[in-house]
Amino acid sequence: MESSHSIIPWFRAMILNSFEWPTRLQYEPGPTQRPGFISSRGNEYFCEIDEEYLTDRFNLTGLNTEVQYYQYALDLVTDVFDFDCDDDMREQIEKSARHLYGLVHARYIVTTRGLAKMLEKFKKSDFGKCPRVMCESQPLLPMGQSDVPNSSPVKLYCARCEDLYNPKSSRHAIIDGAYFGTSFHNILFQVYPAMQPPKSQRRFEPRVFGFKVHAAAALARWQSEQREGMKDRLRAIKLETGFEEEDEELEEDEEDEDMVEEGAEGAAAQL
């Protein structure tokens, strides 16, 4: 229903200009305004919340106790702010507005429209790519380790290795993880199961002069046992394991190799 032109300029400005106020809201930039505040970038992870969603009080339930100067902050966010105050106050309200926006964002991105928007950003790799070599640049999703604000900064989830990574850039590392929440990335794959990447069994094998390092290799073999156990459990209930097909061949090779090695070890043990 809402097309993009109706989205409140404040959001666009906030997202595109990284928290810099749009000119028509621009307050006389007093000397007290901290430069780090204005120049703080890193809003690439956020999507634009529909005006409609923001103006529905139901969606904001409970946030009034969470955010200081709630009403002013909300006015600022919804672009109806006309309160004359001093710089310090203004700064406080701006801070609250950012916080409020983040908290609403966490709720918004698990709605149908929010998920769709985040999916587009995910497809464009707006959140970065997995640093793990074997994940072959799998796009990441932002997530929080807690839904409670101010408990931990945003992390990135890789759907291929199902692990969490720290954002590369320090400007992202300061965003509160609660602005994305603990559920969003899992819900996204529940809603769009086709976006789930195939899992890979390929892994790095530490070697010295071509020989596998025993401690690491033993651990890897133990982990493979666990994996096969899981696969058996899944097969028993006739579920797809979700692993890449090419891995099956690879796996057989590995097994052959292991058998040869086992034989060699046995022989060595007998000696």
Partner 1 sequence: MSSSSQVTESWIASFCGLLGHEYFAEVSEDFIEDDFNLTGLQSQVPMYKEALEMILDVEPEDDDEDEEEEEEETGEEEELGDARAPGYRRAADRRHLRIASDLSVIESSAELLYGLIHQRYITSRPGIQQMAEKYELQHFGTCPRVHCNSCKVLPVGLNDSPGHETVKLFCPSCLDVYTPPNSRFQTVDGAFFGTTFPSLFFMTFTELDIGGGLRSNASATIDALAQLQAQTSEGKSRNTTPSNVTSINGVAPHNLAPGLGTGSIYEPRIYGFRVSERARSGPRMKWLRMRPQDVTELDETRRYWEDRDDDADRPDDDDLNMVDVAEGKAGVTADRRKKPIRTRRTRMGPALGAGAAAGSPMDTNGVGGPAG
Would you say 26 or 146 has its CB closer to partner 1?
146
- Asked if residue 110 lies in contact with residue 184, where contact means CB atoms within 8 angstroms, the answer is yes
Determine, following the binding rule CB under 8 A, whether residue 214 of this chain makes contact with partner 1: yes
C-alpha 211: how far from chain center = 37
Question: From the CB of 11, what's the least distance to partner 1, in Å?
Answer: 26
- Of 21, 27, 53, 165, the residue at the interface with partner 1 (CB under 8 A) is 165
The set of residues, in sequence order, having a beta carbon less than 8 Å from that of 49 and lying 6+ positions away, is: 11, 101, 104, 105, 108, 114
x/- map, 228-267, partner 1, by CB under 8 A = --x--xx--x-xxxxx---------------------x--
User: Dihedral angle at the C-alpha atoms of 239, 243, 245, 246, nearest 10 degrees?
Assistant: -160
- Rounded-to-integer distance, Cα 130 and Cα 164, Å: 9
Binders of partner 1 in range 110-139 (CB under 8 A) = 131-134
**For tokens 């794959």, what's the residue?**
189
We find the least distance from the C-beta atom of residue 264 to partner 1, in angstroms, to be: 9
Encoding tokens for residue 173? 């590392």
Cβ 60 to partner 1 shortest distance, Å: 19
- Does residue 95 interact with partner 1 by CB under 8 A? no
From residue 182, give the alpha-carbon distance in Å to each of 147, 151, 169, 199, 224.
6, 12, 21, 22, 28
> Minimum CB separation from partner 1 for residue 21, in Å?
26
**What is the smallest separation between the CB atom of 151 and partner 1, expressed in angstroms?**
8
70-77 vs 87-108: helix axis angle to the nearest 10?
Answer: 70
Q: How far is the CB of 93 from partner 1 (least distance, A)?
A: 24
Task: Please pick, from the candidates 30, 125, 166, 252, the single residue that binds partner 1 as defined by CB under 8 A.
Answer: 166
Check binding of 27 to partner 1 (CB under 8 A): no
**Shorter beta-carbon distance to partner 1: residue 65 or 270:** 270
The residue assigned the tokens 């529909």 is 50
Closest CA to 7 of 130, 91, 108: 108
Choose the binding region for partner 1 from 2-10, 47-55, 71-79, 165-173 (rule: CB under 8 A): 165-173
Q: Which is nearer to partner 1, 82 or 162 (CB)?
A: 162
Determine which residue in the list 189, 244, 247, 254 makes contact with partner 1, applying CB under 8 A: 189
d(CA 79, CA 30): 21
Q: Which of 210, 143, 126 is nearest to 178 (CA)?
A: 143
Binding site for partner 1 (CB under 8 A): 131-134, 145, 152-153, 155, 157, 160-166, 168, 173-174, 182-183, 186-187, 189-190, 193, 196, 199, 203-204, 206-211, 213-216, 218-224, 226-227, 230, 233-234, 237, 239-243, 265, 268-270
